[in-house]
Structure 1
Amino acid sequence: MTISEYLKQNTAEYHDAAEKLFNSEKIFNKTFTLEDYKKIINTNYLMLLHSEDKIFEKLSERFSEKFQLNDRKKLPLIEEDLKSLSLKSTAASRELEFTSEKQALGAMYVIEGSTLGGNVIAKQLSKTEGFDEVTFNFFGCYQENTGAMWKNFKEVLDAEVPEEQYAEVLSGAKKLYTFLLNVS
């Protein structure tokens, strides 16, 4: 089993809890409101504010290059969304730390995975009444390259993480999911 399969399997309950927290089913039956959207953006903003730099700092030069980290920065994009929605930037009520590169990789898995879902959300909401003026900077961050960016991320992860490090990578993913689910 690859690390990406292992992470998908072992974070499924967290993923489901996040979908529930954000009322994701309303996105597809077109009852999702602008207030729902503001909540999802604000929570993801807090997650990125408290994790993105910490994750990137923990990753070695090797990972920076292989992941093209500069192309993966999402905090400036979600800050644009905050502005366009007239939301104030705030700090989270809890701290978040990653103690190793492996934990940072696990956390990055959560963020990169959210861009896949985000792409679907942006497409769906752009067809929903009340979202005509919304700019999907964060959810549309990779545009038509979303699939390729995810594939690249998974391939590097699967090639670079040996089985004996799976548990530590998973602990980083769980740490970020736990933060996301409790920060709002």
Structure 2
Amino acid sequence: MEAETLSIRDRLRAGTRIDHDRLEDGLRLADPGLTLERYREVLARFYGFWAGWEPRVAAELSDETFLAPRRRLHLLRDDLHTLGLEARSLPACPPPALHGRAEAMGSLYVMEGSTLGGRVILKALDRLGLPGEGGRSYFAGYGDATGAMWRAFLQRLEAEPDASGVLRGAKATFAALADWMLRPA
């Protein structure tokens, strides 16, 4: 099948598979040996990424109605607080270089896709002895609305006319996220 006949989602999956696998394999969040300390570290790094990324994507999209329900920085802040860390003392990651709406949509594809993986990670978190439902809201994503939010995002993504820009944004985001999340402590 020629690239022009593939959906943007299919092009993104194929074009970022290696990037996705590098990040997922490096994080190892579903590993049976995940510890509470490692989980805190991962959440702190995600917070640092989102702290720079969320405003950058908002500036490029200029569509708060669409973006507002997809903001998750506050969830990370709440989870970290529950786990005894204050977010304001954490370093922030420089956001990926994004130029225009198409690249911002590609970047958002990466982060929205993580809500689907988060549902799997939630099961692994049960082993950590987290307090009640606390400390897991980031990976809970949109709860029961996760599937509907993903489908709504994909509908908007497929309407984007610049598929090459979307792919550039997704690749830049995967690269920045992996470099930040997988760097030595």
Q: TM-score, normalised by structure 1?
A: 0.85
| Counterparts of 2:129 and 2:156, CA distance in 1 | 39
CA change 1:76–1:116 in 2 (3 A) is same
1:142 alignment partner AA: Y
Structure 2: stretches of 5+ with no match in the other structure = 1-5
| Counterparts of 1:39 and 1:140, CA distance in 2 | 18
Q: What SS is found at the alignment partner of 2:135?
A: coil
Between the two proteins, what is the percent identity of the paired residues?
A: 32
| Counterparts of 2:95 and 2:147, CA distance in 1 | 31
1:133-153 Cα deviation digits (max 9, x unpaired): 543111112011111111111
Q: What SS is found at the alignment partner of 1:91?
A: coil
When the two chains are superposed, the root-mean-square deviation of aligned CA atoms in Å is 1.9
| Counterparts of 1:131 and 1:45, CA distance in 2 | 18
Which residue of structure 2 lines up, in the alignment, with residue 33 of structure 1? Answer: 35
Residue 5 in structure 1 maps to residue 17 in structure 2: no
Q: What SS is found at the alignment partner of 1:11?
A: helix
How far is the alpha carbon of 1:88 from its aligned partner? 4.0
Which residue of structure 2 lines up, in the alignment, with residue 110 of structure 1? Answer: 110
How far is the alpha carbon of 1:132 from its aligned partner? 4.7
Which residue of structure 2 lines up, in the alignment, with residue 56 of structure 1? Answer: 58
CA change 1:156–1:33 in 2 (3 A) is same
1:131-176 Cα deviation digits (max 9, x unpaired): 3554311111201111111111112211x123xx222111111111
How far is the alpha carbon of 1:129 from its aligned partner? 4.4
Count the aligned residue pairs: 173
Output aligned runs, 1:167-182, within 5 Å.
167-182=164-179
Q: TM-score, normalised by structure 2?
A: 0.84
2:111 alignment partner AA: I
Residue 97 in structure 1 maps to residue 97 in structure 2: yes
- Runs of 4+ more than 4 Å apart: none
Residue 16 in structure 1 maps to residue 21 in structure 2: yes
Structure 1: stretches of 5+ with no match in the other structure = none
